[in-house]
Amino acid sequence: MIPFALLLLAAAPVQDTPQDGDITVRAPLPATPQTPATMVVEPVAMMIAACDRDGDAKVERYELEECVAASLAAFDPNKTGKLRYIAFGDWALRYLGDRAALPSPYEVDRDNDGEVTLAELQDHFSRLFARYDRDGDHAISRAELLTYRTMPVDARGPTAGRRPEKKDDAPDADRKRRGGRR
């Protein structure tokens, strides 16, 4: 009787398609990473946002010019209207958050005399104002000060900071390293 039952089971067709009422469980699809987008605020953009004197959440050009002049005056006790590079580093630490934050004194000092003048700093911030004022309304909003950064991503996630994969050491590779000799 048992051999007959086994013979019937072997002859029965295998059902590949689910019948009504059957529950099919499938494995989850492999994750496809989304390119991470990060909102950042550059140090100079934080300073520009802090220059909003009237509290309307927009920085107008006159507010920025007054703010830059006041910030330079705070580090210019002799009222010379200029900062040497070390003093500029102190200025950057206070207003940008770090001595090495951009803009650097080398970028701002257009005549390369080793000093950043108020005119040079105003000129640089004027160019920054034009860069950040994306909608051209002559005022910079908080949204215009945000920068979106994305990173390259592959199937294993962000590639930034990851070392390239090593290839398997094949005998041909060993031979090439030894100059073709065995």
- Report angle CA 167, 169, 175 to the nearest 5 degrees: 125
Neighbours of 140 (CB within 10 A): 28
In a domain, 128, yes or no: yes
In a domain, 162, yes or no: no
In a domain, 106, yes or no: yes
* Total domain count, the chain: 1
Q: Kindly list the distances between the CA atom of residue 106 and the CA atoms of 1, 54, 82, in Å, as whole numbers in the listed order.
A: 96, 32, 14
In a domain, 29, yes or no: no
Instruction: Give pLDDT tens digits along the chain (182 positions).
Output: 676 666 666 666 666 666 777 777 787 766 666 666 678 899 999 999 999 999 999 999 999 999 999 999 999 988 999 999 999 999 999 999 999 999 999 999 999 999 999 999 999 999 999 999 999 999 999 999 998 877 666 666 666 666 766 665 445 555 555 555 55
* Domain that residue 76 falls in: 37-150
The answer, as to whether pTM is greater than 0.85, is no
Can you give the CATH number for the domain in which 86 is found? 1.10.238
